[in-house]
Chain A
Amino acid sequence: MLQEQTASLATGSSGPVTSQLANEFLTFRLGKEEYGIEILKVQEIRGYDSITQIANAPEFIKGVVNLRGIIVPIIDMRIKFRLGNADYDQFTVVIILNVAGRVMGIVVDGVSDVISLEAEQMRPTPEFGAVIDTEYIMGLGTVDERMLILIDIEKLMSSSDMGLIDQSIN
């Protein structure tokens, strides 16, 4: 027990990843890659239907939907990260997130499962050129042979390049 703690403390200095204790992640697929987001940020998962376009919005913002009386913007992560094919059918899945006090939906290729990751299963992000700025990646998780890219969804969705929130410059 104590050893575990000291171990995690030791690795804690190497990156912010391990400062997080064991967490549950919802994993989803974008193209061939597997991503994970903190389960606590997920409100629900629903199908993709009746979207109202928003004028002059970036291409990855598909529009807004009515979620029980709340107007919720829908972002297609496949377009944003140029992964997978942006087709829409009855299998298209929207993950409704609740981040930074806002509700929003992201379109992904498919939702796999919920995985619990221990601190030692998470590795710090190496520096590499990825479609997602490494700033928004909390780390890499390993489960058996699979690799999960853990996204700091709150940071990503609040960032200016998503254009979801009015920036002060506007």
Chain B
Amino acid sequence: MSTDLEQFYEIFFEESAELLADMETCLLRLDVNSPDLEDLNAIFRAAHSIKGGAGTFGFTDMTEMTHMLETLLDRLRKGELEVRSEMVDAFLKAGDVIKEQLAGHRGEGQADPAVAAAICEELKRLSNEIQAPAKETPVVSNDQTEAVSAEAEVAEVKASPNDDSSRFTYCIEFFSAGMSNTGMENLWANLKQLGSLENVTPANEEERCQLKLVTSNSEEDIWEILAFVVDPAKLKIELDTSGKIEADATEAEAPNTISTDAGSFVDEDEFEMTKMPPAPGYGFFPGAPAAPKDIMDASEANLNSSQQQGESNSKNEPQAAANKSAGKANTAAPASETSSIRVSVEKVDQMINLVGELVITQAMLAQTASQFDPVVFEKLHGGMSQLERNTRDLQESVMSIRMMPISFVFSRYPRVVRDLASKLNKLVELKTVGENTELDKGLIEKIADPLTHLVRNSLDHGIEVPEKRMAAGKPAQGTITLRAFHQGGSIVIEVSDDGAGLNREKILDKARERGLPVHDGMTDQEVWMLIFEAGFSTAETVTDVSGRGVGMDVVKRNIQSMGGRIDIDSAFKVGTRISIRLPLTLAILDGLSVTVGDQMFIVPLTYIMESLQPAAADIKTVSGHGRVVQVRGEYLPVIALHEVFNLHPNVTSIHEGILVILEAEGHKAALFVDDLVGQHQVVIKSLESNYRRVQGVSGATIMGDGKVALILDTAALVMASQQEAV
């Protein structure tokens, strides 16, 4: 049983994280002056779903916090309180605390209960600040909020009708046709336990049974007893208000009618549903699958989807209410129907592997089939070409499963910018363009940190304070633009600002100070790249935001480890643009296949400058061994692949083979191979999963004929050649 629950933990954690991100997006979008009710509802639903899940798993700290959120949000969306920016701040902080609590339950770090308590207090203060006049709120009273848990709430529902020690009379009506006598007797006995029972069935009525029950129990209790025996579709329980029971005016508003007939259900208030007992899985799935859709396109799609959601929600409400007995708040269900399903990455990877196999098998079949006479075996060839097309389509669509829109990363920056801008007293607007650009999930996870760093850098170093901007004739509000788009086989992510730009002189001075080899004749590009040197910072003062010179070098290293490249464009006093170029996926690499002897190797295309067949005269030796080749006035060290890997090459003299000119980390070298074969997109496979790391090899791949080819670790080879030369 415990393992069963644990398997849901992971889902809950993931889902809560998504919901929190969703909530944050909505909060940041919220205009304090004219709050969008739909946004408020969305935030409320997110908090509510988390609470439901947390309640199910017994994470009381989270239930408590989300309940506080809910209380305040409910008053907001009912218009009992005005939205103010301090509330938004409080919500954001509460979101952070929930995130920490979530991490705590995950076993990563520990949430500070003191902070949580402080936020709780603040939320409570805010929600109690102005009591709505002349209206008794259905919100759980204060003293009870202290010890809120889902159970406590249930108790409250039951308690409220009891407060005046009043007893209700219920009219119960159901079809008794076909019921056994013993069944009826049991039912009588059970109902009698609740209170005094009176049979009011008309004498001539045979099929229907009408009862009058006077009890202090709630409708649910009666419902539970009856539901086991009677077909719920034929059951009707009504509160008899004409009876001798004195119902308070406010309590009359309470949902005292339960009926399976959706039409007669009067209570559409969602909040009441929160008072339902948390059945297993309560509030577990709704909402989350819609999340990606929500953040996908902030400007357009969001408007659309929120409208859609609004519409479908209003339609859905009676239906959701009808489902009340099932204890599920399917508030966001309509959006989720078409959006997504949750599948583990392992399954997807397995599928990618299998499809890769299929492609190889197809290639082998095609090769065999090509030996048959196309006239005699026309149908075979027709089938083969169709198979090829289908496998290629299949491979593409399977690959696209791993792709996610970059909005998953972009969506976190409005918060970063908002917090940091207010800290630095700057006015900054964040624009995002191309959030729907897709890239591999693995890359999405890895790009977030470097990008955060760049955004913070832009804000701190790039954008000036409003006074300075005004003096420079710029609008007081600075703009940071995040842009993503496809270019060729890669994705480009740009972080640009209209701030001060990089100061060439300052960077050069700083570089000289640090003893870096610089001169005035360097191109702008070369100068800008200096800021990626470790420990380099031109900031006059070290703040807690930036200025320590730690980071840009890490950013560059991270990007490079992803197989990407980073470039800077900057104009002094106009702005800076940093562009990151990444391969579309981690799993596929553009490579050039080369042969040495009978072995084939893949050289990653991103490192290749050119390939050439040198003239014998261009090859020179330095001090007897160590060969260099002259290419357009440059002397490049020659790396003979067969020497590095101890192979038997078909050609041994360099001018008979091919030189592939490589560039890695600013160094160039010429790789000597027998022959070039072709350019491929190859699927990267790990050598280390079953073997160990091999010097000079970064991985392996499977070629069309089913053979394994090793992928060269170009950077390591080039660096090794540099060390040899020294």
Query: A69 touching B354 by the CB < 8 A rule?
Result: yes
Interface string of B264-302 (1 = CB under 8 A from A): 000000000000000000000000000000000000000
5 A-B pairs closest in CB distance? A55-B645, A52-B708, A166-B692, A73-B691, A69-B353
Cβ 8 A contact of A104, one of B644, B690, B697, B705: B690
Checking B353, B644, B689, B700 against A55 with a beta-carbon cut-off of 8 angstroms, the contacting residue is B644
Query: Does B450 touch A at the CB level, under 8 Å?
Result: no
A16 at the interface (CB under 8 A from B): no
Asked whether, in the complex, the Cβ of B354 is within 8 Å of the Cβ of A52, the reply is: no
Nearest-neighbor residue (CB-CB) of B645 within chain A:
A55
B688: interface (CB < 8 Å): yes
* A9 interface hit (Cβ, 8 Å): no
In the bound complex, residues from chain A placing their C-beta under 8 Å from that of B332 are: none
Q: A53-B599, A56-B645 are in contact. List 20 more A-B contacts (CB 8 A).
A: A50-B708, A52-B710, A54-B694, A55-B695, A55-B697, A56-B694, A56-B695, A64-B687, A64-B691, A66-B708, A68-B357, A69-B357, A69-B685, A69-B702, A70-B353, A71-B686, A71-B687, A71-B702, A164-B692, A166-B688
Q: A165: shortest Cβ distance to chain B, in Å?
A: 6
- B707 CB–A CB distance under 8 Å: yes
Give 28 pairs: A residue, B residue, CB < 8 Å, sorted on A.
A50-B706, A50-B707, A52-B700, A53-B645, A54-B694, A54-B697, A55-B645, A55-B694, A55-B695, A55-B696, A55-B710, A56-B645, A56-B646, A56-B694, A56-B695, A63-B708, A64-B687, A64-B691, A65-B708, A66-B360, A68-B357, A69-B356, A69-B685, A71-B691, A104-B691, A164-B691, A164-B692, A166-B693
Q: Tell me if B708 and A64 are in contact (CB < 8 A).
A: yes
Query: Counting chain B CB atoms within 10 Å of each CB, which of A50, A55, A164 scores highest?
Result: A55
Q: A170–B693 contact, CB under 8 A?
A: yes
Contacts of A103 in B (CB 8 A): 690
Instruction: Confirm or deny: B433 has a beta carbon within 8 angstroms of a beta carbon on chain A.
Output: no
Cβ A102 vs Cβ B690 within 8 A: yes
Smallest CB–CB gap between B292 and chain A, Å? 29
B365 interface hit (Cβ, 8 Å): no
Judge if B189 is at the interface, Cβ distance under 8 Å: no
CB-CB < 8 A to B645: which residues of A? 53, 55-56
How many angstroms from the CA of A109 to the CA of B694 in the assembled complex? 28
Check A73 against B357 for contact (C-beta < 8 Å): no
* Chain B residues within an 8 Å CB radius of A65: 708
Nearest chain A CB to B103 CB, angstrom units: 29
A52 to B647, CA, bound (A): 12
| Distance of A63 Cα from B695 Cα, bound (Å) | 14
A40 at the binding interface (Cβ < 8 Å): no
* Chain B residues in the interface with A (C-beta under 8 A): 353-354, 356-357, 360, 599-600, 644-647, 685-697, 700, 702, 705-710
Using Cβ atoms and an 8 Å threshold, which residues of chain B touch A69?
A: 353-354, 356-357, 685, 702
Which residues in A have some Cβ–Cβ distance to B below 8 Å? 50, 52-57, 63-66, 68-73, 102-104, 163-166, 170
The residue of chain B having its C-beta at the shortest distance from the C-beta of A167 within the complex is B692
Within 8 Å CB of B689, what residues of A? Answer: 70-71, 102
Closest to A166 in B: B692
Contacts of B687 on A, CB cut-off 8 Å? 64, 71
- Give every chain B residue within 8 A of A70 (Cβ-Cβ): 353, 685, 689-690
Question: CA–CA, A164 to B693, complex, Å?
Answer: 9
Chain A residues near B710 (CB-CB < 8 A): 52, 54-55
Cβ contact of A52, chosen from B353, B360, B709, cutoff 8 A: B709
* A55 and B646 form a contact (CB under 8 A): yes
Partner of B702, one of A66, A102, A166: A66
Chain B residues near A55 (CB-CB < 8 A): 644-647, 694-697, 710
Residue of A50, A56, A68, A69 with highest tally of chain B CB at under 10 A: A69
A52 pairs with B691, CB closer than 8 A: no
Q: Tell me, in angstroms, the Cα distance from A163 to B694 when the chains sit together.
A: 11
Q: Is there an interface contact between B694 and A57, defined as CB atoms closer than 8 Å?
A: yes
Contacts of A53 in B (CB 8 A): 599, 645, 647
Q: Smallest Cβ distance from B146 to chain A, in angstroms? A: 50
- Neighbouring A residues of B693 by C-beta, 8 Å: 166, 170
User: Taking CB as reference atom, which chain A residue is nearest B702?
Assistant: A66
Instruction: State A57–B692 Cα separation when bound (angstroms).
Output: 10
Q: B697's closest neighbor in chain A, by CB?
A: A55
- CB pair A71–B697 under 8 Å, yes or no, is no
In the complex, A65 Cα to B688 Cα: how many Å? 14
Chain A residue nearest in CB terms to B708? A52
Chain A residue numbers with a CB within 8 Å of B696 are 55
Give A53 to B646 CA distance when docked, in angstroms.
10
Chain B: minimal CB distance from A12 (Å): 34
B700 contact set on A, CB distance < 8 A:
52, 64, 71
Interface hub of A66, A70, A104 (most chain B Cβ within 10 A): A66
Q: A71 — which chain B residues lie within 8 A by C-beta?
A: 685-687, 689-691, 700, 702, 708
State the Cβ distance, A108 to closest chain B Cβ, in Å.
19
| A162 smallest CB distance to B (angstroms) | 10
- Cα A143 to Cα B478 in complex, Å, equals 85
CB distance from B600 to the nearest CB of A (A): 8
Q: How far is the CB of A68 from chain B (nearest CB, A)?
A: 6
Please give, as numbers and ranges, the residues of chain A lying within 8 Å of B709 by CB-CB distance: 52
A68 to B355, CA, bound (A): 11
CB distance from B118 to the nearest CB of A (A): 46
Nearest CB in chain B: distance from A16 CB, A: 28
Query: Which of the residues A52, A57, A164 comes within 8 Å of B707, measured between beta carbons?
Result: A52
Complex Cα–Cα for A54 and B645 (A): 8
Which residues in A have their C-beta under 8 angstroms from that of B360? Answer: 66
Residue of A52, A66, A68 touching B599 (CB-CB under 8 A)? A52
Q: How far is the CA of A52 from the CA of B696 in the complex (A)?
A: 15
CA distance A66 to B600 in the complex (A): 14
Q: How far is the CA of A38 from the CA of B694 in the complex (A)?
A: 30
Of the listed residues A65, A70, A72, A166, the one surrounded by the most CB atoms of chain B closer than 10 A to its CB is A70
Q: Whole-angstrom distance from the CB of B569 to the nearest CB of chain A?
A: 41
Chain A nearest CB from B72 CB (Å) reads 50
What are the residues of chain A within 8 A of B688 when measuring CB–CB?
Answer: 166
**Distance in angstroms between the alpha carbons of A66 and B687 in the assembled complex:** 11
